[in-house]
């Protein structure tokens, strides 16, 4: 028999063993209690999700019946939360339409009205702040974005020696965000708008990393929209209020443009720098611009994204 240190507490005493088993049991029970207690914050989870939303199918697989139910659910939820009954539609792309945006860099004065009109139209969160459009102030003669100022403050714009370039989702023909989404939550529709199904997105933020234009935004917290500024005219793929944990971005004001109207950023621009329309229509102003203006650029063209956003100059 090999030499074993005689330690009555740990070796042969039956009483010691049963005491240890008992203590093991109590330790396990208090461990389970600690586990349950660690989940305590979840009691404030509230309306994180519902059974309907959890099982909701992918947008492209919803039958018209199911879509009607989904729209009704959204209307109910918005009314419950904001006290305003919205009108939510599922708008399909129009035939023979491909949208294009042209922006006149000679005209833009950097007033940022487009940023805030977009926020108001599209029910974006105010706290934390989400803004689809970012206006860059660049020095004359350079398109080097590292020289851009984002948070400029001035008594008067435009300031001498600078020009202003608003950037939003470019609705690329070859979108990197669509390529990388692991669940197809974002895709490009036939009229050129890259849309997001907010109820399908899992919030991995791979698309945000992939976008070369920093166009995509994530809801890091529950979005806060002031009741009195809610826009009740909504679309499923557009400006209906989003949830915490999903992506969103400019969608060319889908609730307006798919019923023939101009986007909100264009409507508020005081100098008419923004131009929007159907490139397949030779009489549209965007067709005129792309025909007549000698110089227009697409941002970061070398990325191969083929944006539908053209910046041009008059002089």
Partner 1 sequence: MIQGTRNYLRFLWRCVRIAFVGDWRYYAWMGVLTALTLIGLNAYCKQLVYGLAVTGMSDEVSWGVYIANFTFLVGVAAAAVMMVIPVYIYNNEELHDLVIFGELLAVAAIIMCLAFVTVDLGRPDRFWHLIPVIGEFNFPASMLSWDVVVLNGYLLLNVHICGYLLYCRYHDRKPAKWFYIPFVFIAIFWAVSIHTVTAFLYVGLGGRPFWNSSIVGPRFLASAFSAGPALIILALQVIRGVTHYRITDKALLTLRSIVQVAMIINVFLLANEVFKEFYSGNLHVASSKYLFLGLHGHHALVPWIWTAVALNLIGMFLLVLPLSHSLKWLNVACVCCIVGIWIEKGMGLVIPGFVPTPLGAIVEYSPTLNETLICIGIWAFGILCYTVFLRMAVPILQGRLAKANEGQPEPDGEPLPPAPSLPASH
Partner 2 sequence: MATPAPVPPEPSGPSATRLLAGVGLGFAALAALFVAELWGRPASFRRIPLVATSFLETKPIRQSYADLVAAKEDLSDYDCYACHEKNKPPPIKFDANHKIVIPKEHKNIEMGHGSHDRNNLCYNCHTEQNLLTFQARDGRELKFDQSVPLCGSCHGPTYRDWEAGAHGRTSGYWDRKLGQPVRLACVNCHDPHNPKIPGREPAPGPHSLHEPAPAAAGTSHP
Which residues in the 270-289 window bind partner 2 by CB under 8 A?
270-272, 274-278, 284-285, 288-289
Residues 112, 89, 48, 78: is their CA dihedral positive or negative?
positive
Q: Which does 222 bind (CB under 5 to 8 A by kind): partner 1, partner 2, none?
A: partner 1
Question: Cα(217)–Cα(130) distance, rounded to whole angstroms?
Answer: 7
Of 24-32, 253-261, 266-274, 288-296, the segment contacting partner 1 by CB under 8 A is: 24-32
By the 8 A CB rule, do 225 and 84 touch?
no
228-287 binders of partner 1 (CB under 8 A): 243-247
By the 8 A CB rule, do 181 and 206 touch?
yes
Q: How far is CA 232 from CA 86, 107, 222, 308, in A?
A: 4, 32, 19, 28
Q: Which does 155 bind (CB under 5 to 8 A by kind): partner 2, partner 1, none?
A: partner 2
Strands 247-248 and 233-235, bridge-based pairing: unpaired
Q: How far is CA 207 from CA 64, 76, 170, 203, in A?
A: 29, 30, 14, 9
Question: Cα(241)–Cα(234) distance, rounded to whole angstroms?
Answer: 9
Q: Which does 161 bind (CB under 5 to 8 A by kind): partner 2, partner 1, none?
A: none
Of 92-100, 103-111, 278-286, 298-306, the segment contacting partner 1 by CB under 8 A is: 298-306
- CA nearest to 249, candidates 209, 215, 204: 215
Q: Which does 209 bind (CB under 5 to 8 A by kind): partner 1, partner 2, none?
A: partner 1
**Shortest distance in whole angstroms from residue 304 CB to partner 2:** 28
Q: Which is nearer to partner 1, 35 or 295 (CB)?
A: 35
Of 2-10, 113-121, 231-239, 268-276, the segment contacting partner 1 by CB under 8 A is: 2-10
Binding residues with partner 2: total (CB under 8 A): 79
Q: Which is nearer to partner 2, 88 or 264 (CB)?
A: 264
**C-alpha angle 135/137/140, rounded to 5°?**
140
114-143 binders of partner 1 (CB under 8 A): 128, 130, 134, 136
Q: Which does 201 bind (CB under 5 to 8 A by kind): partner 1, partner 2, none?
A: partner 1
**Shortest distance in whole angstroms from residue 288 CB to partner 1:** 29
Of 49-57, 85-93, 113-121, 230-238, the segment contacting partner 2 by CB under 8 A is: 113-121
For 278, counting Cβ atoms within 10 Å of its Cβ (0-12 exposed, 13-18 middle, 19+ buried), the class is buried
Q: Which does 217 bind (CB under 5 to 8 A by kind): partner 2, partner 1, none?
A: partner 1
Of 64-72, 78-86, 111-119, 173-181, the segment contacting partner 2 by CB under 8 A is: 111-119
By the 8 A CB rule, do 307 and 170 touch?
yes
């Amino acid at each position: 028999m090999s030499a074993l240190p005689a330690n009555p507490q740990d070796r042969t005493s039956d009483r010691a063993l049963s005491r240890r088993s008992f203590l093991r049991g109590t330790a396990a029970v208090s461990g389970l209690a600690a586990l349950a207690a660690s989940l305590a914050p979840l009691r404030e989870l509230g309306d994180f999700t519902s059974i309907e939303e959890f099982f909701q199918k992918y947008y492209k697989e919803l039958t018209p019946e199911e879509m009607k139910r989904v729209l009704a659910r959204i209307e109910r939820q918005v009314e419950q939360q904001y006290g305003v009954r919205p009108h939510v539609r599922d708008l399909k792309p129009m035939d023979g339409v491909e949208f294009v945006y042209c922006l006149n860099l000679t005209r833009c004065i950097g007033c940022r009205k487009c940023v805030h009109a977009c926020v108001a139209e599209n029910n974006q969160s105010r706290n934390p702040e989400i803004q689809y459009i970012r206006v860059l102030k660049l020095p004359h003669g350079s398109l080097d974005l590292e020289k851009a100022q984002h948070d400029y403050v001035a008594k008067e714009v435009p300031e001498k020696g600078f020009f202003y370039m608003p950037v939003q989702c470019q609705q690329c023909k070859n979108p990197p965000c669509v390529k990388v989404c692991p669940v197809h939550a974002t895709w490009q529709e036939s009229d050129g708008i890259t849309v997001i199904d907010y109820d399908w997105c899992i919030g991995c933020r791979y698309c945000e990393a992939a976008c070369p234009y920093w166009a995509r935004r994530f809801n890091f917290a529950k979005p806060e929209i002031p009741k009195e500024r809610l826009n009740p005219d909504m679309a499923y793929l557009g400006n209906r209020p989003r949830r915490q944990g999903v992506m969103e971005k400019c969608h060319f004001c889908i609730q307006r443009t798919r019923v023939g109207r101009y986007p909100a950023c264009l409507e508020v621009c005081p100098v008419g720098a923004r131009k929007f329309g159907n490139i397949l229509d030779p009489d549209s102003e965007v067709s005129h611009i792309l025909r007549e203006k000698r110089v227009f650029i697409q941002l970061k063209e070398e990325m191969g994204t083929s944006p539908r956003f053209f910046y041009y100059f008059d002089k």
